[in-house]
Amino acid sequence: MAAATDGARLMDGPAFRRHRRLRRTEAVRGLVRETELTPAHLVAPLFVEEGLDGRAPIDSMPGQARLGMAALVEEARALRGAGVPAVLLFGIPARKDERGTGAYDDGGVVQEATRRLKDALPELLVIGDVCLCEYTSHGHCGVLDADGAVDNDASLPPLADMAVSLAEAGCDVVAPSDMMDGRVAAIREALDGSGLGDTAILSYAAKFASAFYGPFREAADSAPAFGDRRGYQLDPANARMARDEALTDLDEGADMVMVKPALAYLDVLRQVREAVDAPVAAYNVSGEYAMLKAAAANGWIDETRAIDETLTAIRRAGADVVITYHALEWARRR
């Protein structure tokens, strides 16, 4: 008994720190919490389908749906009501072709969606994804050469045209996700030359060739018809190259850069955060969302706590902006 008393006395000495004093109650935990996460840090990705009436649930992404125009406005209104300031739009067009011409059609699905959103919710920040994959019949992110390979330089003009078309429709930010070399410079030049110099560019600078995109490709109908995207997306093993991509895109005129996916690349997110002074976004992608939802549906994890932990981890690693399909359900709980 004396030994126990001596041990307790020893633990109270100056050589020991009582860290648990700052974890004892929710009030003290909140007081010393290092990482802030609020709805204002979130962006909700939304899928809008041309000609759709209402909502079409996405089987691999429980709780998510393709949206018609009216349903899109309804979803955006709910997001704003929960404090989420921004949406990232992906379009599912009624037709596709070899060159993805629907991407830069001024009457295209995302262009029309943007106008509807801006009419209904002028304060909503609308980000338009810039890529050809949803609009090409072959599903690749650029145009193809005679041999069937993605032609980097030939892809730059249609990507720039898409960015200009989206900005003219009212997008506040354009977000090139194609991973073509030089696309940020081409888009910045096209925007400035069209009198759209106030439109910001959020570059998918460090977009990895990831296995976690599967549910998105179902949702957006954007899977490549042949081959894969490893010839232009980043190798998952390369962190230094990701930093270089981010720095290159900032030099070309990007205002913000992104790391995608988020959870399997938190180390890359931290390295990019430390390498740049610009705002950094991270995309909590469809596969990450689907895994959590599946585990929760099986009763293997506490979904509410897991969402909190996931989004906090992304913020803690260095993201100023978190793009996540959890945005609405998380924000509604705040």
Average pLDDT over residues 275-298: 97
Instruction: Kindly report, residue by residue over 117-142, the tens digit of the pLDDT.
Output: 999 999 999 999 999 988 998 878 88
User: Would you say residue 211 lies in a domain?
Assistant: yes
What CATH code is carried by the domain that includes residue 103? 3.20.20.70
Identified catalytic residue from 96, 118, 260, 293: 260
3-state secondary structure of 166: helix
3-state secondary structure of 114: helix
User: Would you say residue 225 lies in a domain?
Assistant: yes
User: Would you say residue 29 lies in a domain?
Assistant: no
* Domain coverage including residue 76: 37-332
| pLDDT given for residue 79 in this prediction | 98
Pick from 134, 265, 128: which is nearest to 207 by CA?
A: 265
Q: Count Cβ atoms within 10 A of the Cβ of residue 174 and give its class: 0-12 exposed, 13-18 middle, 19 or more buried.
A: buried
User: Would you say residue 141 lies in a domain?
Assistant: yes
3-state secondary structure of 145: coil
- % helix / strand / coil in the chain, to the nearest 5? 45, 20, 35
Its pTM surpasses 0.95: no
Pick from 229, 308, 242, 232: which is nearest to 272 by CA?
A: 242
Residue for token pair 């989206």: 166
Instruction: Kindly report, residue by residue over 70-115, the tens digit of the pLDDT.
Output: 999 999 999 999 999 999 999 999 999 888 898 999 999 999 999 9
Distance (Å, rounded) from C-alpha 217 to C-alpha 181?
23
User: Would you say residue 86 lies in a domain?
Assistant: yes
In 197-267, at which residue ranges do the beta strands (DSSP E only) sit? Answer: 200-207, 256-260
| pLDDT given for residue 140 in this prediction | 84
| pLDDT given for residue 327 in this prediction | 98
In terms of C-beta distances under 8 Å and separation of at least 24 residues, what long-range contacts does 65-71 make, across chains too?
A: 66/92, 66/219, 69/112, 69/113, 69/116
CB atoms within 10 A of CB 215: 23
User: Would you say residue 283 lies in a domain?
Assistant: yes
DSSP H helix total and E strand total for the chain: 12, 10
Active site residue 207: yes
DSSP secondary structure of 267-332: HHHHHHHHH-SS-EEEEE-HHHHHHHHHHHHTTSS-HHHHHHHHHHHHHHHT-SEEEETTHHHHHH
Q: Total domain count for the chain?
A: 1
Instruction: Kindly report, residue by residue over 138-172, the tens digit of the pLDDT.
Output: 878 888 988 888 899 999 999 999 999 999 999 99
Identified catalytic residue from 96, 118, 207, 293: 207
Distance (Å, rounded) from C-alpha 284 to C-alpha 311?
8
Q: Over 70: is that where the pLDDT of 227 sits? A: no
DSSP secondary structure of 255-276: SEEEEESSGGGHHHHHHHHHH-
Please, what's the b/e burial string for 255-271 (b: 16 or more CB within 10 A of its CB; e: otherwise)?
bbbbbbbbbebbebbbb
Average pLDDT over the chain, rounded to an integer: 93
| pLDDT given for residue 90 in this prediction | 96
CA 172 centroid distance within chain: 16
Please, what's the b/e burial string for 83-118 (b: 16 or more CB within 10 A of its CB; e: otherwise)?
ebbbbbbbbbbeebeebbbbbbbeebbbbbbbbbbb
* Cα 232 to Cα 141, 159, 223, 285, 314, distances in angstroms: 9, 15, 15, 19, 25
User: Would you say residue 17 lies in a domain?
Assistant: no
- Conformational region of residue 96, where left means phi above 0, alpha means psi within -120 to 50, and beta covers everything else: beta
User: Which residues, in sequence order, are bridge partners of residue 55?
Assistant: 67
pLDDT band at 230 (very low <50, low <70, confident <90, very high): confident
Instruction: Kindly report, residue by residue over 236-257, the tens digit of the pLDDT.
Output: 999 999 999 999 999 999 999 9
Q: Over 70: is that where the pLDDT of 3 sits? A: no
User: Would you say residue 263 lies in a domain?
Assistant: yes
